[in-house]
């Protein structure tokens, strides 16, 4: 399994549009094969910052997700609406009994 994290900070005038796009992206992503979980959260210390937490079954599913037209459109929207963003982090998870 892989855990993916990242964040984006909106401009004050773009927060609502960015939140709406983020929620649509999250809901769409949850329907994709290999998506274990996909969530977006508002940072309680910086209410303009959105934090993404995702779990994917494997790298193949994640690569398909990144190549989806919806994901590419979402990233274009982020670039248009964000004041800043962090690099996406992809972390392998080893589950133990």
68 within domain boundaries: yes
Kindly compute the dihedral angle of the four CA atoms of residues 52, 56, 89, 54, in this order, to the nearest 10 degrees.
10
Give phi and psi for 38, each to the nearest 5. -155, 120
52 within domain boundaries: yes
82 within domain boundaries: yes
pLDDT digits (tens, 9 = 90+) for 30-52: 999 999 999 999 999 999 999 99
**What 3-state class would DSSP assign to 9?**
strand
For the question of whether the overall pTM of this predicted structure is more than 0.95, the answer is no
pLDDT of 21 reads 98
59 within domain boundaries: yes
Share of the chain above pLDDT 90, in %: 96
Domain membership of residue 19 as a residue range: 2-92
Kindly compute the dihedral angle of the four CA atoms of residues 9, 36, 70, 22, in this order, to the nearest 10 degrees.
-30
Q: Are 26 and 38 in contact (CB under 8 A)?
A: yes
97 within domain boundaries: no
Q: How many domains does the chain have?
A: 1
């Amino acid at each position: 399994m892989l855990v993916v994290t990242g964040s984006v900070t909106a401009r004050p005038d773009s927060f609502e549009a960015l939140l709406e796009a983020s929620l649509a992206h999250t809901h769409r992503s949850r329907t994709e094969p290999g998506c274990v979980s996909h969530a977006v959260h508002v940072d309680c210390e910086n209410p303009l910052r959105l934090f993404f937490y995702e779990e994917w079954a494997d790298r193949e599913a994640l690569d398909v997700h990144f190549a989806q037209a919806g994901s590419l459109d979402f990233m274009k929207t982020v670039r248009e609406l964000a004041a800043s963003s962090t690099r996406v982090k992809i972390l392998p998870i080893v589950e133990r009994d």
